Amino acid sequence: MTIKKRLAISNFLMIAIPTLVALIIAFLSITALWVPLVQENNIGVRDLEDFEKTSTFMLTQVEGKLKERVAVGGDPRISDVATSLRALTGYTIRIKSPQGELWTWGDDPKLEVSKLQGSADELVGEGIISNGSNAIAIRDVATVGGLYRIYIFGSEIKTRTWPAKNTVKWTLIFIFVVVVIGIIVANRFLTRFVFQRIRGALDLLAKGVRQIRDGNLAVKLTYEGQDEFAPICEDFNDMARRLKESVDLIQKQEQNRKELLAGISHDLRSPLTSIKAYAEGIQDGIATTPELEAKYIRMIQTKADEMEHMISNLFTFSKMDMDDYPNYPEEVDLGKEIANFVQNESVAYENKGLYLQYEVIGETFKIWADPFQIRHILMNIADNSVKYKTAAMGHLHIVCEAKAETVYLRLADDGPGTTSANLERLFEVFYRDDRARSNPHKGSGLGLAIVKKMVQQMKGSIKAELVKPHGLAISMSFPRYIK
């Protein structure tokens, strides 16, 4: 059975079983209420308690209306009120005037009820007389026109075999019991036939969570089932893997920060020491000739430039790392940018001991990029070639080639290169190989890291390669811009 079918069956059972139980409970509840109704055990059954409440209400209404009518000299028979109360309750209403006149609303009382009236007349003020099956409620009402007596006659007052009040009470109890039993039965069924089969999977997931809690990020769940928990366990393994990668990245970044503090402290100390030494030399009069003094000043300027370049690179990388570096992409012809760079900077780099050469292969070199960042990339790589060259004059060969939907850029020098083991780490933040570490003035390891950030911002890729017989090549690829 496929996972989808298992999941569909489980969902059907989860919905069908509680629905079936609810329907059964509703059927039984309606039946329990229907039985007393068809047996004429009405909810408002007229037992003595109900008669007392209803007659008290009726006596109060009649009394109020009677006093109002008599006070203004109106007809004391209050036909409208009495008729309405009679229609509402079914009880008979009778009023005796001070002159002994009787007014009746409703059917004449039965003989048994009439016999009770003689006993009721002996009551003074207010009261109820009952013989078990019939009852009379009376009240004397004093008005400005004399003393009136009000009678409320009720018949067939008796305790039934199944009183409606008891019916309601026991029906509610029955419904409650049925609901509880239904819930218990449904719970047991779902636990046994639906939830029991997922207990093992839940235990496995719980075990995996505890492993992660205890620091074992290499945990991997092995679930043999082919139900809906299989993809959940796969997602858990993927989550654990990504969590481990995230923790490793955080640890790596922490190590990079430590290297930053150590590297920047070391790299800044060297030019600062030189600046301080040359300044003290000038101050102490060691530079005894104008030529020597000018040399000291040039050295101070050089060291200050090194510090400025180092701090500028650090600032640039920090801005890019926080996605706060200015980026204004536009349609750029990479071939033209390379040609302009070589034309504008070749003399300056020749003075530094590096020949720039370029070659373009293809026709269309349009990419979507920030022109300033392209020049920054070319300059950073060229500066690296200057720093690490071993010959008096080095060479940097720049090739731009367009193929299909991609534009390739390769910058290869004839310097000492690096080892194969170091290739993968050249773009790491603050990483420098052993030769660079022995010459701190050659940089702080931020140049290629900045280049990689910029290339990635242009949706491109970058890698480092060794050049035979010696040298280093930085290869990049960018998606061609198509309008």
Highest-confidence segment of 20-24, 78-82, 467-471: 467-471
Instruction: Quickly count: other Cβ atoms within 10 Å of residue 283's Cβ.
Output: 9
- Of 342, 460, 480, 352, the closest CA to residue 411 belongs to 342
pLDDT mean over 177-188 = 75
Distance CA 172, CA 166 (A): 10
Task: Check pLDDT > 80 for residue 169.
Answer: no
> How does DSSP assign 38-62, residue by residue?
HTT--TT---HHHHHHHHHHHHHHH
- Render pLDDT for 77-114 as a digit per residue (tens, 0 to 9): 888 888 888 877 778 888 888 888 888 888 777 776 67
> Where is 116: in which H helix or E strand?
helix 111-121
What pLDDT band is residue 271 in, cutting at 50, 70 and 90?
confident
Q: Tell me the two tokens of residue 283.
A: 């101050």
What pLDDT band is residue 120 in, cutting at 50, 70 and 90?
confident
Q: Tell me the two tokens of residue 193.
A: 């036939």
Going by their DSSP bridges, the two strands 92-96 and 102-105 should be labelled as antiparallel
- Render pLDDT for 402-434 as a digit per residue (tens, 0 to 9): 988 999 999 999 998 888 888 878 887 666 655
Taking the whole predicted model, whether its pTM rises above 0.85 is answered as no
Task: Check pLDDT > 90 for residue 461.
Answer: yes
What pLDDT band is residue 382 in, cutting at 50, 70 and 90?
very high
The pLDDT of residue 263: 66
Distance CA 371, CA 354 (A): 23
Q: How many helices (H) and strands (E) does the chain have?
A: 13, 12
Task: Check pLDDT > 80 for residue 446.
Answer: no
> Which residue(s) pair with 461 in the sheet?
477
Higher pLDDT, 38 or 17: 17
Q: What angle do CA 377, 378, 383 make, to 5 degrees?
A: 100
What pLDDT band is residue 168 in, cutting at 50, 70 and 90?
low
What length does the chain have? Answer: 483
Distance CA 63, CA 67 (A): 6
Q: CB–CB of 139/125 below 8 Å?
A: yes
The mean predicted confidence, pLDDT, of the chain is 79
Task: Check pLDDT > 50 for residue 286.
Answer: yes
Q: CB–CB of 386/353 below 8 Å?
A: yes
> Where is 350: in which H helix or E strand?
helix 334-352
Q: Tell me the two tokens of residue 311.
A: 């701090």
- Of 74, 72, 91, 75, the closest CA to residue 83 belongs to 91
Q: Domains (ranges, CATH) in the chain?
A: 48-154 (3.30.450.20), 228-325 (1.10.287.130), 327-479 (3.30.565.10)
Task: Check pLDDT > 80 for residue 438.
Answer: no
449 Cβ neighbours under 8 A, 6+ residues apart: 317, 427, 428, 429, 430, 431
Q: In this structure, is the dihedral angle defined by the CA atoms of residues 315, 316, 322 and 327, taken in order, positive or negative?
A: positive
The amino acid occupying position 126 is: E
Distance CA 365, CA 371 (A): 13
Going by their DSSP bridges, the two strands 330-333 and 366-369 should be labelled as antiparallel
